[in-house]
């Protein structure tokens, strides 16, 4: 009799707990992503929520013109209210977010076995001072798009390998009236200009900031040569002067309209160029005098905001979003490049090569201020009204301001 009684009590407890579970409201996590990625993320979220009914994800989308979304995220993510639980961010912000205490240290969760599933570059992208703050979602790096049919018509067997090649091919095609412009790039005063410049800078053997020594190279001859190359694209009418107002959107629109032979852009452009079978792409790694260039690294990943509540559920969501299954679905819809090795093998050899050869903007906590200094300097130096003699003074000032910034932060 007593046994039946206690069995009944236990059964009642199980029933009550079950009812509580069924009626307990789900945990809601927030995630902020660029607007043009919204649909792809929503598809992933639906799959995740079907597998984890007690966790809901509130997706917020914002336009990311000129990288402004990340700046909004950077300014708000450390605040107790309004910041997303899941932090989706560009590689350049990891050091600052880590130093400011905006992100949780995920080193204990991101173990060796999980790390081995991703490319070494993408793993390193989320690391700062030996700790991991961001898990890879997608790789991103500069690509040089070109029209293979025009290249053949102009008598060139392969795309350019040097800056001189690019200028020569562009000018030849313009003389033959096969294109209006030779080379389109991102020249507006925003982060896209920086990405373009660091690729040109590396190809001339220069550097911006050495993160280890904190040395600045903006006033070195190689940096001046890099600026001069971009100036030459304008003065020799290989690029239109309007390129100085172009972001990714404007340069891609002009290229799609058949205005140019070459386009510097990201892998995402494949999504919009897929219907034109004459368009091909190689890594943006032009060189000069044997200096190896490289495509700018623009990878993105997920971290967890420094809010202890629901960290386990946030981590479970990250595990799903960074899995091979999720990255396969996400990259298929968006044409981004996956960071997961099992999915990356399906990419073209050119894209796989670009991932391994990607170069970094300086991984420093002061990156935002350093970028603004360089953006302003490049806008002055690339202005058609600026003389060649003034360029050196402009870059010297930018170098001195950057050194002062780094000295103050030390």
pLDDT reported for residue 4: 65
The single residue listed with the structure tokens 């798009």 is 145
- In CATH terms, the fold of domain 143-296+366-409 is D-Maltodextrin-Binding Protein; domain 2 (3.40.190)
Backbone dihedral angles phi then psi of residue 153, each to the nearest 5 degrees: -60, -35
The pTM of the whole model exceeds 0.85: yes
Task: Determine contact, residues 334/268, Cβ cutoff 8 Å.
Answer: yes
Distances (CA, A) of 213 to 90, 286, 294, 364, 403: 24, 26, 21, 11, 12
Phi-psi region of 310 (alpha: psi -120 to 50; beta: other; left: phi over 0): left
Task: Determine contact, residues 184/239, Cβ cutoff 8 Å.
Answer: yes
pLDDT reported for residue 336: 94
> Which residue would you say has higher pLDDT here, 254 or 14?
254
Task: Determine contact, residues 57/49, Cβ cutoff 8 Å.
Answer: yes
Provide the percentage of residues in the chain whose pLDDT is more than 90: 80
Element (H, E) at 223: helix 221-235
pLDDT in tens, 316-331: 999 999 999 999 999 9
**Cα(385)–Cα(126) distance, integer angstroms:** 41
Copy the structure tokens of residue 363.
């991984």
Residue 71 confidence class, pLDDT cut points 50, 70, 90:
low
Closest CA to 194 of 302, 297, 337: 297
Backbone dihedral angles phi then psi of residue 147, each to the nearest 5 degrees: -100, 110
Element (H, E) at 15: helix 2-23
Distances (CA, A) of 309 to 33, 58, 134, 292, 302: 21, 16, 18, 47, 17
Task: Determine contact, residues 401/373, Cβ cutoff 8 Å.
Answer: yes
How far does CA 86 lie from the centroid of its chain? 17
pLDDT reported for residue 113: 96
pLDDT in tens, 179-216: 999 999 999 999 999 999 999 999 999 999 999 999 99
pLDDT reported for residue 19: 46
The single residue listed with the structure tokens 């002055």 is 380
How far does CA 289 lie from the centroid of its chain? 28
pLDDT in tens, 236-267: 999 999 999 999 999 999 999 999 999 999 99
Terminal C-alpha separation, the chain = 76
pLDDT reported for residue 15: 56
Secondary structure letter of residue 81 according to DSSP? S
Element (H, E) at 383: none
Task: Determine contact, residues 196/213, Cβ cutoff 8 Å.
Answer: no
**Residue spans in the chain of domains classed CATH 3.40.190.10:** 27-140+298-357, 143-296+366-409
CATH number for the region 27-140+298-357 comes to: 3.40.190.10
Closest CA to 387 of 217, 239, 227: 227
Instruction: Compute the Cα dihedral for 333, 337, 341, 347 and give only its sign.
Output: positive
**Cα(183)–Cα(279) distance, integer angstroms:** 14
Radius of gyration of the chain (CA): 24
pLDDT reported for residue 25: 81
Burial of 310 (0-12, 13-18, 19+ CB in 10 A): middle
**Cα(225)–Cα(230) distance, integer angstroms:** 9
pLDDT reported for residue 3: 64
**Cα(63)–Cα(258) distance, integer angstroms:** 26
Hey, which bits of 63-172 come out as E strands?
86-90, 127-128, 131-132, 135-139, 143-147
């Amino acid at each position: 009799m007593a046994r039946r009684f206690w069995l009944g009590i236990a059964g009642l407890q199980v029933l009550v707990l079950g009812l509580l579970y069924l009626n307990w409201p789900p945990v809601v996590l927030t995630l902020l992503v660029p607007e043009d990625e919204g649909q792809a993320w929503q598809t992933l979220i639906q799959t995740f929520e079907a597998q984890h009914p007690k966790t809901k994800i509130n997706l917020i989308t914002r336009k990311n013109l000129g990288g402004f979304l990340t700046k909004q995220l950077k300014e708000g993510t450390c605040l107790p209210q309004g910041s997303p639980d899941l932090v989706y961010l560009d590689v350049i912000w990891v050091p600052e977010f880590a130093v400011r205490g905006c992100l949780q240290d995920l080193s204990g969760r991101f173990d060796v076995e999980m790390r081995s599933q991703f490319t070494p570059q993408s793993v390193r992208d989320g690391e700062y001072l030996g700790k991991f703050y961001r898990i890879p979602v997608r790789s991103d790096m500069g690509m040089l798009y070109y029209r293979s049919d025009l290249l053949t018509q102009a008598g060139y067997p392969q795309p350019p390998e040097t800056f001189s090649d690019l200028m020569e091919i562009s000018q030849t095609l313009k003389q033959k009236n096969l294109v209006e412009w030779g080379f389109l790039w991102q020249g507006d005063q925003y982060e896209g200009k920086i990405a373009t410049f660091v690729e040109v800078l590396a190809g001339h053997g220069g550097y911006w900031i050495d993160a280890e020594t904190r040395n600045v190279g903006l006033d070195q001859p190689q940096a001046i040569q890099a600026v001069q190359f971009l100036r030459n694209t304008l003065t020799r009418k290989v690029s239109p002067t309007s390129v100085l107002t172009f972001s990714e959107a404007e340069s891609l629109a002009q290229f799609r309209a058949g205005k140019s032979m070459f386009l510097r852009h990201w892998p995402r452009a494949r999504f919009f160029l897929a219907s034109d079978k004459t368009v091909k792409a190689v890594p943006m790694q032009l060189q000069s005098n044997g200096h190896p260039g490289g495509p700018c690294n623009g990878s993105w990943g997920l971290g967890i905001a420094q809010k202890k509540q629901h960290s386990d559920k946030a981590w479970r969501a990250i595990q799903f979003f960074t899995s091979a299954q999720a990255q396969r679905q996400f990259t298929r819809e968006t044409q981004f490049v996956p960071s997961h090795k099992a999915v990356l093998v399906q990419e073209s050899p050119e894209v796989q090569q670009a991932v391994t050869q990607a170069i970094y903007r300086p991984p420093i906590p002061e990156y935002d201020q350093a970028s603004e200094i360089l953006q302003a300097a490049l806008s002055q130096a690339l202005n058609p009204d600026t003389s060649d003699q003034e360029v050196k003074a402009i870059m010297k000032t930018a170098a001195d301001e950057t050194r002062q910034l780094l000295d103050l932060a030390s």
